Amino acid sequence: MDHHALRTKIEGLVRSARDRGAPCDWFESLYRDADGRTDLIPWADDEPNRHFLAGMALPGMPTGGRALVPGCGFGDDAEALALLGFEVTAFDVSGSAIDECRRRHRNSPVRYEVGDLFRLPDRYRVPGFDLVLEVHTLQAIPLPDRDSGFGPVADCVAPGGTLLAVMRGRDDAADVDAEGPPWPISRAECVAFEGRGLTLDSWEDFLDDATPPNRRFRAVFRRPPGRLHTGRSGIRTRARTGR
Ligand SMILES: C[S@@+](CC[C@H](N)C(=O)[O-])C[C@H]1O[C@@H](n2cnc3c(N)ncnc32)[C@H](O)[C@@H]1O
Protein backbone atom coordinates (compact mmCIF):
# COMPACT_ATOMS: atom_id res chain seq x y z
CA MET A 1 0.00 0.00 0.00
CA ASP A 2 1.48 3.39 -0.91
CA HIS A 3 1.75 6.27 1.52
CA HIS A 4 -1.31 8.07 0.17
CA ALA A 5 -3.54 4.98 0.37
CA LEU A 6 -2.37 4.25 3.93
CA ARG A 7 -3.06 7.83 4.95
CA THR A 8 -6.55 7.67 3.42
CA LYS A 9 -7.22 4.39 5.22
CA ILE A 10 -6.12 5.87 8.58
CA GLU A 11 -8.22 8.99 8.10
CA GLY A 12 -11.25 6.79 7.48
CA LEU A 13 -10.55 4.67 10.57
CA VAL A 14 -10.05 7.78 12.70
CA ARG A 15 -13.26 9.36 11.44
CA SER A 16 -15.42 6.36 12.15
CA ALA A 17 -13.83 5.76 15.57
CA ARG A 18 -14.51 9.38 16.54
CA ASP A 19 -18.07 9.11 15.24
CA ARG A 20 -18.52 6.14 17.55
CA GLY A 21 -17.17 8.21 20.46
CA ALA A 22 -14.21 5.84 20.82
CA PRO A 23 -11.21 7.78 19.47
CA CYS A 24 -8.63 5.14 20.37
CA ASP A 25 -10.46 2.19 18.79
CA TRP A 26 -8.91 2.52 15.34
CA PHE A 27 -5.44 1.46 16.43
CA GLU A 28 -6.52 -2.15 16.83
CA SER A 29 -7.96 -2.27 13.29
CA LEU A 30 -4.76 -0.86 11.86
CA TYR A 31 -2.45 -3.23 13.75
CA ARG A 32 -4.68 -6.23 13.05
CA ASP A 33 -4.69 -5.54 9.31
CA ALA A 34 -0.95 -4.89 9.30
CA ASP A 35 -0.32 -8.36 10.74
CA GLY A 36 3.15 -7.35 11.94
CA ARG A 37 4.20 -5.51 8.78
CA THR A 38 6.15 -2.41 9.72
CA ASP A 39 5.42 -0.73 6.36
CA LEU A 40 1.70 -0.71 7.17
CA ILE A 41 2.16 1.17 10.46
CA PRO A 42 3.33 4.73 9.70
CA TRP A 43 5.16 5.29 13.00
CA ALA A 44 6.86 1.89 13.17
CA ASP A 45 10.49 1.90 12.04
CA ASP A 46 12.03 -1.09 13.81
CA GLU A 47 14.26 1.09 15.95
CA PRO A 48 14.02 3.08 19.16
CA ASN A 49 13.04 6.72 18.89
CA ARG A 50 16.28 8.70 18.72
CA HIS A 51 14.88 11.74 20.56
CA PHE A 52 14.08 9.41 23.46
CA LEU A 53 17.59 7.90 23.32
CA ALA A 54 19.17 11.37 23.32
CA GLY A 55 16.89 12.32 26.23
CA MET A 56 18.24 9.46 28.30
CA ALA A 57 21.62 11.25 28.27
CA LEU A 58 20.21 14.41 29.89
CA PRO A 59 21.53 15.23 33.36
CA GLY A 60 19.84 13.39 36.22
CA MET A 61 18.02 10.81 34.13
CA PRO A 62 17.50 7.50 35.93
CA THR A 63 19.91 4.78 34.90
CA GLY A 64 17.85 1.85 36.13
CA GLY A 65 14.79 0.83 38.11
CA ARG A 66 11.23 0.25 36.98
CA ALA A 67 10.09 1.79 33.72
CA LEU A 68 6.68 2.09 32.08
CA VAL A 69 6.07 2.64 28.36
CA PRO A 70 2.47 3.67 27.52
CA GLY A 71 1.35 3.09 23.92
CA CYS A 72 4.39 0.94 23.18
CA GLY A 73 3.49 -0.02 19.59
CA PHE A 74 5.90 -2.72 18.42
CA GLY A 75 8.05 -2.32 21.53
CA ASP A 76 11.29 -0.83 20.16
CA ASP A 77 11.56 1.81 22.90
CA ALA A 78 10.64 -0.70 25.61
CA GLU A 79 13.35 -3.08 24.38
CA ALA A 80 15.90 -0.25 24.36
CA LEU A 81 15.06 0.56 27.99
CA ALA A 82 15.46 -3.10 28.92
CA LEU A 83 18.90 -3.09 27.28
CA LEU A 84 19.76 -0.02 29.36
CA GLY A 85 19.03 -2.09 32.46
CA PHE A 86 15.47 -1.08 33.34
CA GLU A 87 12.80 -3.51 34.48
CA VAL A 88 10.20 -2.60 31.87
CA THR A 89 6.43 -2.83 31.65
CA ALA A 90 4.98 -1.72 28.30
CA PHE A 91 1.33 -1.54 27.33
CA ASP A 92 -0.79 -0.70 24.34
CA VAL A 93 -4.52 -0.45 23.76
CA SER A 94 -4.14 -2.71 20.73
CA GLY A 95 -4.07 -6.43 21.48
CA SER A 96 -2.63 -7.09 18.03
CA ALA A 97 0.28 -4.71 18.73
CA ILE A 98 1.00 -6.52 21.99
CA ASP A 99 0.79 -9.94 20.28
CA GLU A 100 3.34 -8.67 17.78
CA CYS A 101 5.63 -7.39 20.58
CA ARG A 102 5.59 -10.84 22.14
CA ARG A 103 6.29 -12.47 18.76
CA ARG A 104 9.11 -10.10 17.78
CA HIS A 105 10.79 -9.97 21.16
CA ARG A 106 10.28 -13.60 22.12
CA ASN A 107 12.88 -13.85 24.88
CA SER A 108 12.48 -10.32 26.08
CA PRO A 109 12.39 -9.48 29.80
CA VAL A 110 9.85 -6.72 29.02
CA ARG A 111 6.38 -7.32 30.43
CA TYR A 112 3.99 -6.53 27.57
CA GLU A 113 0.37 -5.90 28.52
CA VAL A 114 -2.83 -4.86 26.78
CA GLY A 115 -4.01 -1.71 28.50
CA ASP A 116 -5.91 1.50 27.98
CA LEU A 117 -4.34 4.72 29.18
CA PHE A 118 -7.78 5.91 30.24
CA ARG A 119 -8.40 2.82 32.39
CA LEU A 120 -5.10 2.05 34.03
CA PRO A 121 -4.90 -0.49 36.83
CA ASP A 122 -4.03 0.87 40.27
CA ARG A 123 -0.90 -1.30 40.33
CA TYR A 124 0.66 1.09 37.77
CA ARG A 125 0.17 4.03 40.11
CA VAL A 126 1.23 2.46 43.37
CA PRO A 127 4.14 2.28 43.91
CA GLY A 128 4.65 3.85 40.47
CA PHE A 129 7.63 3.76 38.13
CA ASP A 130 11.08 5.32 38.34
CA LEU A 131 10.75 6.26 34.67
CA VAL A 132 7.68 6.74 32.50
CA LEU A 133 8.47 7.11 28.81
CA GLU A 134 5.77 8.76 26.73
CA VAL A 135 6.64 8.80 23.01
CA HIS A 136 3.97 9.94 20.55
CA THR A 137 0.98 8.37 22.31
CA LEU A 138 -0.88 11.47 23.54
CA GLN A 139 -0.37 13.21 20.19
CA ALA A 140 -2.10 10.25 18.51
CA ILE A 141 -5.31 11.06 20.41
CA PRO A 142 -7.23 14.15 19.28
CA LEU A 143 -8.45 16.99 21.47
CA PRO A 144 -10.58 17.14 23.50
CA ASP A 145 -10.35 13.38 24.05
CA ARG A 146 -6.71 13.41 25.09
CA ASP A 147 -7.25 16.06 27.78
CA SER A 148 -7.77 13.38 30.38
CA GLY A 149 -4.79 11.31 29.16
CA PHE A 150 -2.08 13.50 30.70
CA GLY A 151 -3.15 12.71 34.28
CA PRO A 152 -2.79 8.91 34.04
CA VAL A 153 0.68 9.27 32.48
CA ALA A 154 1.78 11.52 35.35
CA ASP A 155 0.16 9.36 38.02
CA CYS A 156 2.40 6.42 37.10
CA VAL A 157 5.56 8.33 38.06
CA ALA A 158 6.76 7.20 41.50
CA PRO A 159 7.95 9.63 44.15
CA GLY A 160 11.45 10.66 43.04
CA GLY A 161 10.68 9.33 39.55
CA THR A 162 10.93 10.88 36.10
CA LEU A 163 8.67 11.36 33.10
CA LEU A 164 10.39 11.70 29.73
CA ALA A 165 7.97 12.87 27.02
CA VAL A 166 8.73 13.17 23.31
CA MET A 167 6.06 14.77 21.14
CA ARG A 168 5.20 16.84 18.11
CA GLY A 169 4.91 20.45 19.27
CA ARG A 170 2.70 23.43 18.47
CA ASP A 171 2.22 26.95 19.82
CA ASP A 172 -0.28 27.31 22.64
CA ALA A 173 -2.51 29.50 20.49
CA ALA A 174 -2.21 27.46 17.29
CA ASP A 175 -5.20 25.56 16.01
CA VAL A 176 -4.85 21.83 16.35
CA ASP A 177 -4.37 20.43 12.87
CA ALA A 178 -7.69 18.89 11.91
CA GLU A 179 -5.78 16.66 9.51
CA GLY A 180 -4.13 14.58 12.23
CA PRO A 181 -2.98 12.11 13.37
CA PRO A 182 -0.72 13.25 14.78
CA TRP A 183 -2.29 16.21 16.57
CA PRO A 184 0.68 18.22 17.94
CA ILE A 185 0.75 19.08 21.63
CA SER A 186 1.21 22.50 23.24
CA ARG A 187 3.19 23.52 26.32
CA ALA A 188 -0.11 24.67 27.85
CA GLU A 189 -1.52 21.14 27.58
CA CYS A 190 1.49 19.77 29.44
CA VAL A 191 0.62 21.92 32.44
CA ALA A 192 -1.68 18.99 33.20
CA PHE A 193 1.42 17.00 34.20
CA GLU A 194 2.27 19.67 36.75
CA GLY A 195 -1.31 19.64 37.97
CA ARG A 196 -0.69 16.01 38.97
CA GLY A 197 2.28 16.83 41.18
CA LEU A 198 5.16 16.72 38.69
CA THR A 199 7.65 19.55 38.31
CA LEU A 200 9.21 20.56 35.01
CA ASP A 201 12.93 19.81 34.88
CA SER A 202 13.76 20.53 31.23
CA TRP A 203 11.92 21.56 28.09
CA GLU A 204 13.43 21.42 24.61
CA ASP A 205 11.69 22.88 21.56
CA PHE A 206 13.42 22.02 18.30
CA LEU A 207 13.02 21.14 14.64
CA ASP A 208 13.97 17.64 13.62
CA ASP A 209 15.85 16.81 10.42
CA ALA A 210 12.85 15.46 8.47
CA THR A 211 11.90 17.05 5.14
CA PRO A 212 10.01 19.26 5.85
CA PRO A 213 11.13 19.49 9.48
CA ASN A 214 8.71 18.78 12.32
CA ARG A 215 8.60 20.84 15.48
CA ARG A 216 9.23 18.63 18.49
CA PHE A 217 9.19 18.97 22.24
CA ARG A 218 11.24 16.82 24.56
CA ALA A 219 10.36 17.34 28.20
CA VAL A 220 11.51 15.93 31.49
CA PHE A 221 9.24 16.15 34.53
CA ARG A 222 10.00 14.84 38.02
CA ARG A 223 7.89 13.85 40.96
CA PRO A 224 9.42 15.15 44.18
CA PRO A 225 10.52 12.37 46.55
CA GLY A 226 7.96 11.45 49.13
CA ARG A 227 4.94 12.64 47.17
CA LEU A 228 2.57 10.06 45.83
CA HIS A 229 -0.35 10.78 43.56
CA THR A 230 -3.28 8.59 44.34
CA GLY A 231 -4.71 9.15 40.88
CA ARG A 232 -8.31 9.72 41.83
CA SER A 233 -8.56 11.50 45.13
CA GLY A 234 -5.64 13.92 45.10
CA ILE A 235 -2.10 13.89 46.42
CA ARG A 236 -1.06 12.28 49.65
CA THR A 237 2.34 12.09 51.25
CA ARG A 238 4.32 9.04 52.16
CA ALA A 239 7.87 8.11 52.97
CA ARG A 240 9.95 6.82 50.06
CA THR A 241 10.44 3.12 50.59
CA GLY A 242 13.76 2.89 48.77
CA ARG A 243 12.77 0.42 46.10
C1 LIG B 1 1.65 7.03 17.23
S2 LIG B 1 1.70 5.48 17.98
C3 LIG B 1 3.28 5.53 18.79
C4 LIG B 1 3.77 4.16 19.16
C5 LIG B 1 5.14 4.14 19.83
N6 LIG B 1 5.10 4.84 21.10
C7 LIG B 1 6.16 4.72 18.91
O8 LIG B 1 6.66 5.82 19.19
O9 LIG B 1 6.45 4.08 17.89
C10 LIG B 1 0.57 5.61 19.32
C11 LIG B 1 0.41 4.30 20.08
O12 LIG B 1 -0.43 4.52 21.19
C13 LIG B 1 -1.34 3.47 21.28
N14 LIG B 1 -2.53 3.99 21.96
C15 LIG B 1 -3.45 4.86 21.47
N16 LIG B 1 -4.40 5.11 22.38
C17 LIG B 1 -4.06 4.40 23.48
C18 LIG B 1 -4.65 4.24 24.76
N19 LIG B 1 -5.80 4.86 25.08
N20 LIG B 1 -4.06 3.43 25.65
C21 LIG B 1 -2.91 2.79 25.33
N22 LIG B 1 -2.30 2.90 24.13
C23 LIG B 1 -2.86 3.70 23.21
C24 LIG B 1 -1.60 3.05 19.85
O25 LIG B 1 -2.12 1.75 19.72
C26 LIG B 1 -0.21 3.21 19.24
O27 LIG B 1 0.54 2.04 19.35
Domains of the chain: 46-237 (3.40.50.150)
CA distance 162 to 71: 17
Q: What's the average model confidence in pLDDT over 194-204?
A: 98
Band the pLDDT of 59: cuts 50, 70, 90. very high
Ligand 1 center–CA 239 separation, angstroms: 33
3-state secondary structure 39-58: HHCCCCCCCCCHHHHHHCCC
Ligand 1 center–CA 92 separation, angstroms: 6
Band the pLDDT of 176: cuts 50, 70, 90. confident
Which atom, in ligand 1's list, is nearest to the CA of 94?
25
Contact present, 37 and 129 (Cβ < 8 Å)? no
What sign results for the dihedral spanned by CA atoms 80, 83, 85, 91? positive
b vs e for 132-162, b when ≥16 Cβ sit within 10 Å of the residue's Cβ? bbbbbbbbbbbeebbeebbbbbbbbbbbbbb
Residue 174 confidence (pLDDT): 85
Residue 239 confidence (pLDDT): 36
| Residues lining ligand 1, Cβ inside 6 A | 24, 27, 43, 49, 70-73, 92-94, 97, 116-118, 135-137, 140-141
Q: What's the average model confidence in pLDDT over 105-111?
A: 97
More confident call, 88 vs 176: 88
Band the pLDDT of 242: cuts 50, 70, 90. very low
User: What is the Cβ-side half-sphere exposure of residue 80, based on CA atoms within 13 angstroms?
Assistant: 18
CA distance 87 to 200: 24
Ligand 1 center–CA 138 separation, angstroms: 8
